[in-house]
Amino acid sequence: MELYFITHNKSKYLEAEEIGREYSVSIKLFDLEYEEIQDNKLETIALMSCKRVLQEKPELKNKNFFVEDAGLFIKSLNGFPGPYSSYIFKTIGNEGILKLMKGEEDRRSHFKSVIAYHSKNETKIHTGKTEGKISHDIRGEKGFGFDPIFRPDENDITFAEMSLETKNLYSHRQKSLRELLTSIAAFARKKIDGE
């Protein structure tokens, strides 16, 4: 089957492509920068993004595609930046987050990924969450976004110090993607059994 990932973020796509290979699904990049709505729930943002994509690219209506919205939620900052992660990353970046966390001992945080999958006029949501800690300094050069300041639990290195394959063992994105790919595989099996 053809499965498109609509994103303007190549790093996100490369992570997804690798997971797709494990499921023998070739995920194709559809590079599109669309305007994201602001909302306090990632689920709403992902669903609205899916609608926006269909408005901008009506030719995708009969295709299988997904968009993904992710955010970093910091416990001691009451979940900030959460759904505003993109704007906050662009404005204050990792240095700004570390400044806000200066002197804070509670470093608990999590990443959440929400996929909105469009197929046959239906949109379904898949989610993934990874718990971790905000590091005290910027570490590593791999990955993107908040990767250099996020250490997933049971690890003493940040996402940015990990290879893509290792990040894919722990990340929020691989969890939502595995949920999506498992449900696609189950649907395909049902179809074969029914025929």
144 part of the interface to ligand ITT, by CB under 6 A: yes
Pairing of strands 3-7, 64-74: parallel
Using CA atoms, how far apart are residues 153 and 87, in angstroms rounded to an integer?
26
Q: Which is nearer to ligand ITT, 117 or 191 (CB)?
A: 117
8 part of the interface to ligand ITT, by CB under 6 A: yes
Size of the site for ligand ITT (CB under 6 A): 19
Which of 69, 106, 153, 193 is catalytic? The answer is: 69
Determine contact, residues 179/186, Cβ cutoff 8 Å.
no
Query: Binding string to ligand ITT for residues 56 to 75, with x set by CB under 6 A, is what?
Result: ------------xxxx----
* Binder of ligand ITT out of 82, 128, 132, 145 (CB under 6 A): 145
Residue 156: active-site member: no
Using CA atoms, how far apart are residues 188 and 45, in angstroms rounded to an integer?
28
Give me the half-sphere count of Cα atoms (radius 13 Å) on the Cβ side of residue 81: 23
Sign of the C-alpha dihedral computed for residues 27, 6, 182 and 191 taken in this order: negative
Binding site for ligand ITT (CB under 6 A): 7-9, 12, 68-71, 85-86, 89, 143-147, 159, 171, 173
> What are the residue numbers of the active site?
69
